[in-house]
Structure 1
Amino acid sequence: MRYIILFILYSICTGQLIAQDSLRLTLDEAVALARAQSPQAVAARHQYRAAYWNWRTFKANYLPSLSFNSYSSLNRSISPVTLPDGSDSFLHRNQLLNEGTLTINQNIAPLGGSIFLETGLQRLDLFTDKRRSFKSTPVVLGYSQNLFGYNRLKWDKKIEPTRYAQAKKSYLETLELVAAMTANKFFALATAQSKLQSANYNYAAADTLFRYAKGRYDIGTITENEMLQLEINHLTEQSNRLNAAMEVDNAIQELRSFLGIRDNVEMVAVIGNELPVFIVPVAEALHFAWQNSPDIEWYALQQLQSESSVAQAKASRGLKADLYMQVGLTQTATALNNAYRSPMDQQLVSLGIRIPLVDWGVGKGRVEVARSNLEKTKTEIAQARTDFEANVIKLVKQFNLQANKVAIAQKTSVRAARRNEVAYRLYLLGKSTLLDLNASIAEKDSSQRAYISEMHNYWNLYYALRSITGYDFQMNSPISVSEQEL
């Protein structure tokens, strides 16, 4: 449903493009396009999908598996054989062996082994003697396990859920970071447009003043120095206007590329003066950050992997044993139907043991290295958790103040623009100096840029807060995305 809305939005924007020869975008529209089609968002979706299928593969390892194996071998050769009297002789072989096995296998995570149930049939054709025989295994139950070894199944069951949770939270965080990057590109364009607008206004005012000054200079009411200063201002504003136009072109190109828009279209950043003003409680922000941030899952994942490395190092240095057990029924006959009559018992048990007698401390060294890495990881995680909490608190405090800073900057911008108008009229009436006029122009331009900058900071903090907490405080709901959308 969300992509249908985005498609309609894009269609509206495209229609707007045809009508006005430019694509007018608000910040919300730019963010929606970036989340839907920007290269960063697309890459994040594919990364999450890879993590999702890794998760599906992990879960499948703990479910029963059914497999069929077949094997065929044609042997036409002369091979040495040992006769009953102990002597050797060469025998001509001309035979065909076909076999098939159906196996059900189930991994046992707590033990680290696997149990299987299988049935199979073999057929042997001896072409030299024109004989045929069958061997059946109606049912075989078996179990295999590495004793005292590293239990990968047990550790994967601890690690993989954390890895998948971290991947899912990282995807949601990435979408919010994409929104923050969109805000950076959007307000870069807005700032460039503001500079161009100011440059056009200042150029028009400087041109008027320069023409007006020529008349006053001709009648001797202003000095040559003032006349030259106004001419310099006129030339400077011409240069400023060209530079501002170039900045707008560059900002359009960067935003267009980031949004994944390939058409060479003009773009206009439309800034709204209304902000979603709300206060974020620090305690709530910390609660949701600990609960939803992928960083927390990353810390847990790092510690689990370090603990797994210690367990693996311990298992590799001591006694090792492989156990294999198999019980079942079997029978052989020259006819297929007889191969399943009165089957006989069969049992197979094997136990292989490996004991390292002298390794000159290699095993112990590996364990100590793994333990040191674990302690190092724990120390780094503890410091990272402290920094994480401090960062959340700092971010919340900055955001709660930012709306007021935007309001102050907006009011300052309005007053500076008004002062510039007054200074301009006073100068035309000869009641103000050129220095005061230039100061009012500089204040007007800087205050307008400061207002856009504060707006930019607000939205940066807004999306940073959403990304680190995984929560929409404006709507009082967690940020989520359905797996069907992905």
Structure 2
Amino acid sequence: MILFKIRGNFLLTNLVFILLLSSNLLFSQKKLTLEELLTLTKSSSLEYQIIQRNYLKEKLEYDIYTKSYLPRVELKSSLPTYNRSINQITQPNGDNIFIEQTQANSTLSLSVFQKLPFSGGTLLVNSSLNRLDLLSSKKVSYSSNWINFFLSQPLNGYNSFKWSRKINKEKFIRNNIKNYKRFEDLNISAVKLFFSVLINQKKMELTQKNIDLTKEYMEIVKKKDSLGRIVTSDFYKVKLSLNELIRKYEVDINNYKNSMLGLRNLIDFKSKDSIILQEPNFLELPDIDRGKLEQKLMENTVNYSMDLEILESEKELDKAKKERGVQIDLELAYGLNSNSNNFNDLYNIPSRREYANIGLTIPIVNWNENNKKYQVQKLNNQNLLDSYQRKKKSLSVEVNNIISEIASLFKQVEYLQENISLIKLNINSTYERLKYGRQTWYEFRRELFEEEKILVNYLSTIQQIWLIRYQLRKNSLHDFFVKKDLFFK
């Protein structure tokens, strides 16, 4: 009698403990599918908002850059600048005298600046009007630059504007792709978190089921023990297994809570409702066109990783090539100027200002440094091109590996689905034999743990399929499971 009281108290204590551990999971539950989670990452994920803002920032920065090639017009004006000082004045006979002067100077100017990307030059056009008030003598004088043209043009040198336009355009395209790939990384994180929670949830459910089975069998063992049909040690074996399962259930709940916390943080889910995940819909084996997959990976992975580096290298190669010889720069200026003490006479007769200069930079003794720099850059450029070709050649192997891996994962799912059905049938059969003494408890216990192992392998394989789908979306910017191109918005 004492033995059965101890057993009864033991079962009651464990039952209460299990109910307390799981009560928070049974209250106010919210079901969530993987598709819903992926949608929530767009609407409530802080990471997604950061990606969106980065995309907008890159767009604005590129717009600023493209507008820099349009004419820049500036109007500048200064209010009368007051100046009182003692100045040295040279007389007509050559003598210098010092005179105290009080002046007010006003200026108004209009400037137009234009880059010439096709030639690498710059053009400046400006016009200005100045007024000088000699307050001490109450005199006024005016000066005017009617119009001034200034052209600076390299004749055979490096055109930085041409390369800057190419590189900044490529950077903009690359940054757009980079932002989209970051979004796919977010999807990949969501898939990993979803399956982490789902696997822990399934483990918890399976452990609970095994606890119920063990408790049910303990009642059978008690009856047999009371009739003297089994030895007492058999009861302790079952009790030890129950203790182990209860401890495992604690671990499963703890793992579930930790993984759920990561999921809630991803989607910023503040509700205290419990989230119960639903097993995702089974994806169908995609019919992937090898040629299209290779093309998409070429455009969005190989070219994405190499195009900008190759452009930068070609820019440096062109610069080194142009700088190793004689460099010729042309400067031209033309203007119409005038001055008068009367504003009405200011624009009567202008004086011309003309300027022309051809500048030569000739390397005489630099120990062949410029040519060596060119050779270094040429070797570097060739290495990049060879690396590009090597990546292109390895694509076909990578495509075969991807298609083979996807096919293998789907076959593994079919195999595991069949094993899940078989292990459930086997557990039912083994349990029936156990009740009639034709099976040992440890043999039955081994089947219980084998069921969890197969279930975890099954869900892990499903996870791999979803992960390879989104990894492929990231690398190709195309969803081959639904045959759809992807665009970042």
Q: TM-score range by the shorter chain?
A: 0.7 to 0.9
Query: SS in structure 2 opposite 1:111?
Result: coil
Task: Give the deviation of 1:55 after TM superposition.
Answer: 1.5
1:41-440 superposed matches below 5 A = 41-71=48-78, 73-291=81-299, 293-316=300-323, 318-320=325-327, 322-440=329-447
The correspondence for 1:448, drawn from 437, 443, 455, is: 455
The one-letter amino acid paired with 2:477 is G
Query: SS in structure 2 opposite 1:340?
Result: coil
Q: 1:59-109 CA distances to partner (integer Å, 9 max, x unpaired)?
A: 112222222233464332223344444554434332222222222222111
Give yes or no for the alignment of 1:479 onto 2:486: yes
Matched residues in 2 for 1:81 and 1:364: separation? 55
Task: Give the deviation of 1:26 after TM superposition.
Answer: 0.6
Matched residues in 2 for 1:445 and 1:230: separation? 19
Task: Give the deviation of 1:416 after TM superposition.
Answer: 1.4
Structure 1 contact 416–440 (Cα < 8 Å) conserved:
yes
Structure 1 contact 280–400 (Cα < 8 Å) conserved:
no
CA shift in 2, pair 1:132/1:262, >3 Å: farther
The one-letter amino acid paired with 2:275 is M
Task: Give the deviation of 1:23 after TM superposition.
Answer: 3.4
Q: Which residue of 2 aligns with 1:23?
A: 30
Matched residues in 2 for 1:97 and 1:320: separation? 42
- Structure 2 unmatched ranges of 5 or more: 1-25
Task: Give the deviation of 1:344 after TM superposition.
Answer: 3.7
Task: Give the deviation of 1:196 after TM superposition.
Answer: 0.4
The one-letter amino acid paired with 1:67 is E
The one-letter amino acid paired with 1:391 is E
Structure 1 contact 137–330 (Cα < 8 Å) conserved:
yes
Q: 1:119-149 CA distances to partner (integer Å, 9 max, x unpaired)?
A: 2211121222211122223333331234544
Structure 1 contact 279–400 (Cα < 8 Å) conserved:
no
Identity of aligned residues (%): 20
Matched residues in 2 for 1:235 and 1:62: separation? 76
CA shift in 2, pair 1:337/1:226, >3 Å: farther
CA shift in 2, pair 1:83/1:395, >3 Å: farther
Task: Give the deviation of 1:263 after TM superposition.
Answer: 4.7
Task: Give the deviation of 1:457 after TM superposition.
Answer: 0.8
Q: What is the TM-score normalised by the length of structure 2?
A: 0.86
Structure 2 contact 334–353 (Cα < 8 Å) conserved:
yes
Matched residues in 1 for 2:272 and 2:356: separation? 73
Task: Give the deviation of 1:392 after TM superposition.
Answer: 3.8
Structure 1 contact 62–109 (Cα < 8 Å) conserved:
yes
Task: Give the deviation of 1:403 after TM superposition.
Answer: 3.0
Structure 2 contact 469–479 (Cα < 8 Å) conserved:
no
Q: Name which one, 1 or 2, has greater alpha-carbon Rg.
A: 2
Matched residues in 1 for 2:329 and 2:105: separation? 30
Structure 1 contact 286–393 (Cα < 8 Å) conserved:
no
Matched residues in 2 for 1:80 and 1:146: separation? 42
Task: Give the deviation of 1:256 after TM superposition.
Answer: 1.2
Task: Give the deviation of 1:335 after TM superposition.
Answer: 3.1
Matched length:
464
The one-letter amino acid paired with 2:472 is L
Task: Give the deviation of 1:241 after TM superposition.
Answer: 0.5
Structure 1, 221-230 or 190-199: larger mean CA deviation: 221-230
Q: Which residue of 1 aligns with 2:475?
A: 468
